[in-house]
Amino acid sequence: SQTIHQWPATLVQPVGSPLSLECTVEGTSNPNLYWYRQAAGRGLQLLFYSVGIGQISSEVPQNLSASRPQDRQFILSSKKLLLSDSGFYLCAWRVSPNTDTQYFGPGTRLTVL
């Protein structure tokens, strides 16, 4: 069966520090991968998605970036965190854009102080 992992589960970082969040998927090949952010009291905002290795599409301009160095690995990064980057970051995957179910990871709670 397929599983999705995210780490770390929680993270507290100072403003201006770098960020690296990792997401890996097991049990499937060439998944479509997604990064969402959920700010406090708000809905989900799609940040990035990827249909294959090295292929990244950005939905919202910001100081975050994403990379997909391996088929089942999706990394969210920042060179310098802002206070507004605080939130709950969720990784998700699905088989292809034509399948209608996305499966979400457990999330990473990021607090920028």
Partner 1 sequence: GNSVTQMEGPVTLSEEAFLTINCTYTATGYPSLFWYVQYPGEGLQLLLKATKADDKGSNKGFEATYRKETTSFHLEKGSVQVSDSAVYFCALETSGSRLTFGEGTQLTVNP
* Nearest to partner 1 of 40, 83 (CB atom): 40
Interior angle at CA 62, CA 25 and CA 103, nearest 5 = 25
Counting contacts by CB under 8 A, is residue 62 touching partner 1? no
Interior angle at CA 71, CA 10 and CA 46, nearest 5 = 50
* Residue 35: closest CA among 75, 79, 84, 81: 75
Counting contacts by CB under 8 A, is residue 102 touching partner 1? yes
* Nearest to partner 1 of 29, 101 (CB atom): 101
Choice from 17, 59, 63, 113 touching partner 1 (CB under 8 A): 59
Strand partners, 107: none
Counting contacts by CB under 8 A, is residue 103 touching partner 1? yes
Counting contacts by CB under 8 A, is residue 1 touching partner 1? no
Are 19 and 13 within 8 A, CB to CB? yes
The residues binding partner 1 (CB under 8 A) are: 6, 34, 42-44, 46, 49, 59, 90, 92, 97-98, 100-107, 109
